[in-house]
């Protein structure tokens, strides 16, 4: 394997609260090869967004990276200064946010926003930057770019605004695009258009994607690799194909079984009992143990490490074989 474009090792993100330290991300490790799309899936509070933001130093002021390394294109981000990080953000890495309405500048024409990076960072002339903006707008499928270049964000639909965000993200030819729930605020038809666009960009431009979402189906359609997060930890990793067809962590299994599958109608949806733990005082041992159907005594003791299962597969479950048995009994997704 070539050198990964992104390598995250033992990442810890902490918030200092009055009632103690809250570990939003507790030992997340994953990597992304050039041209690859990694999905990070989890529910709200699982730490997926904080893990993503930590990669580019965009954490809230009250949060900090407590330990771990983040390497992007060979540069150790955690050790880098703010200048170096800003350079990285401007050139190598770009980010797409969930709500383009709040991420875009409301009083600046979208054309200027797309041209800003080429103008400021790439040193293009005003005219060249505008041409670049028009090219990018065409690339992301904005109809009638010569007219839309003069538009303000509020004059565009949600889908168009997200296309503008993607154009901005692409404006400095990044190698890696971090996507934080980029289609959650959109309608299913527009989501489909944006996902197809991101897929095409990844294929045609060879950019790598990290795709954070709570939507398993969105991950299944856009990513090749997935990391499942629960209560601040990565609990399972592997190829999307392997993890979705044969999950090896009871949380992944429960999540897959609780989602209505478009291709397989079930009489009754199963659900995960209980709710995720308070991250300021997570359960001892396996964090999922209070909700786990396969729980044993040793799940309640020492923290469970990630257990390598060969290839890119790993699980934080001592009894992952039980999951495999369960899946053999009843498939989790259609056509498995």
| Interface with other proteins (CB under 8 A) | 43-44, 143-144, 157, 159-160, 187-193, 195-196, 199, 214-218, 220-221, 240-241, 244-245, 254-256, 258-263, 265-266, 268-272, 275, 333-336
Closest distance to other proteins from the beta carbon of 246 (Å): 12
Residue closer to other proteins by CB (options 260, 310) is 260
Closest distance to other proteins from the beta carbon of 301 (Å): 25
Residue closer to other proteins by CB (options 29, 221) is 221
Closest distance to other proteins from the beta carbon of 260 (Å): 4
Closest distance to other proteins from the beta carbon of 193 (Å): 6
Residue closer to other proteins by CB (options 80, 195) is 195
Residue closer to other proteins by CB (options 78, 193) is 193
Instruction: Kindly give the interhelix angle for 110-120 and 126-139, rounded to the nearest 10 degrees.
Output: 120
Residue closer to other proteins by CB (options 106, 260) is 260
Closest distance to other proteins from the beta carbon of 139 (Å): 13
Closest distance to other proteins from the beta carbon of 190 (Å): 7
Among candidate residues 118, 242, 95, the one with its CA nearest the CA of residue 181 = 95
Cβ partners under 8 Å of residue 5, min gap 6: 32, 33, 34, 36, 72, 73, 175, 176, 208
Residue closer to other proteins by CB (options 274, 305) is 274
Cβ partners under 8 Å of residue 11, min gap 6: 25, 27, 28, 29, 51, 54, 65, 67, 68, 69, 70
Closest distance to other proteins from the beta carbon of 140 (Å): 12
Residue closer to other proteins by CB (options 121, 245) is 245
Closest distance to other proteins from the beta carbon of 176 (Å): 22
Residue closer to other proteins by CB (options 76, 187) is 187
């Amino acid at each position: 394997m070539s050198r990964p474009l992104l390598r995250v090792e033992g990442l810890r993100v902490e918030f200092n609260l009055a009632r103690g330290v809250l570990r939003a991300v507790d030992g997340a490790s994953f990597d992304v090869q050039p041209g690859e799309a990694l999905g990070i899936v989890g529910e709200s509070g699982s730490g997926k967004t904080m893990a993503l933001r930590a990669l580019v130093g965009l954490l809230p002021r009250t949060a900090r990276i407590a330990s771990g390394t983040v390497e992007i294109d060979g540069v150790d981000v955690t050790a880098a200064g703010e200048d170096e990080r800003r350079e990285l953000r401007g050139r190598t890495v770009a980010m797409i946010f969930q709500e383009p309405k709040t991420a875009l500048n409301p009083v600046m024409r979208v054309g200027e926003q797309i041209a800003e990076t080429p103008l400021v960072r790439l040193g293009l002339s005003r005219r060249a930057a505008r041409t670049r903006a028009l090219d990018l707008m065409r690339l992301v499928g904005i109809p009638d770019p010569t007219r839309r270049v003069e538009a303000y964000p509020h004059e565009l639909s949600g889908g168009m605004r997200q296309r503008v965000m993607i154009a901005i993200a692409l404006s400095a030819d990044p190698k890696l695009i971090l996507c934080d729930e980029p289609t959650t605020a959109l309608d299913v038809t527009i989501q489909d258009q944006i996902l197809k666009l991101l897929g095409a960009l990844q294929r045609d431009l060879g950019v790598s994607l990290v795709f954070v979402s709570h939507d398993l189906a969105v991950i299944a359609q856009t990513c090749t690799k997935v990391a499942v997060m629960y209560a601040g930890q990565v609990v399972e990793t592997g190829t999307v194909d392997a993890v979705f067809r044969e999950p090896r962590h009871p949380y992944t299994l429960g999540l897959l079984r609780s989602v209505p599958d478009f291709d397989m109608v079930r009489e009754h949806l199963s659900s995960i009992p209980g709710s995720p733990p308070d991250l300021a005082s997570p359960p001892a041992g396996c964090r999922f143990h209070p909700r786990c159907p396969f729980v044993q005594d040793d799940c309640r003791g020492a923290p469970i490490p990630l257990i390598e299962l060969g290839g890119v597969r790993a699980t934080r479950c001592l009894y992952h074989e039980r999951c495999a048995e369960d899946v053999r009994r009843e498939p989790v997704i259609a056509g498995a």
